[in-house]
Amino acid sequence: MSLHPQNSYEVLAFPIFYGDSSEEPDGVGGIIVDVTRHKMLEAALRAAKESADAANKAKSEFLANMSHEIRTPLNGILGMADILQHSQLLPENVAKIEVIKKSGDSLLTLINSILDFSKIEAGKMFLEKQPLNLSELVFDIGQAMAPIAERKNLILNVRVDPRIPSM
């Protein structure tokens, strides 16, 4: 058997006794195992894990940065909608501004959820209980979708069964 210096080997040595009750071994036996391939696979696995960890960290940082970048103009839109809402508007425009504000708030909630995802990955997320008015949420979604339905010449009817608790 030829041993190559660039390979990795594990050696197991053990005593050999030939049946008498002597405490001294009569010889030594051994096994040499070439573990080069095993060591190479371990190194490749370590490198792949490090690469995946780095990619995951980059993804999380990208999501957090993009969420912050999107939030800035969205806050501008919501601020302008708020200013418009408090100005002299035609009655039909009051409802449209309200839809803009509610849609913007929904988008802001989505962006915050993306940031929450980053917090979850970093182990910094805490859950809290908050009441939710389901009927109001369903009607707000209906108002946000109404212009889309109207453009497609569709009628959008939103109803919530009165037996559903409001909170």
Name, in order, each residue with C-beta under 8 angstroms of 155's C-beta and a sequence gap of 6 or more: 149
- Give the pLDDT of residue 11: 93
Backbone angles phi, psi at 16, to 5 degrees: -120, 130
- Give the pLDDT of residue 114: 79
Distance CA 18, CA 12 (A): 19
Mean pLDDT of the chain: 86
Query: What kind and span of H or E run contains 92?
Result: helix 91-121
Q: 39-53, pLDDT tens digit by residue?
A: 999 999 999 999 998
**Which bin fits 31, alpha (ψ -120 to 50), beta or left (φ > 0)?**
beta
1 has pLDDT over 70: no
Q: How many CB atoms lie within 10 A of CB 103?
A: 19
Q: 128-162, pLDDT tens digit by residue?
A: 888 989 888 898 888 888 888 888 999 999 999 98
| pLDDT (average), residues 123-128 | 75
Distance CA 119, CA 61 (A): 11
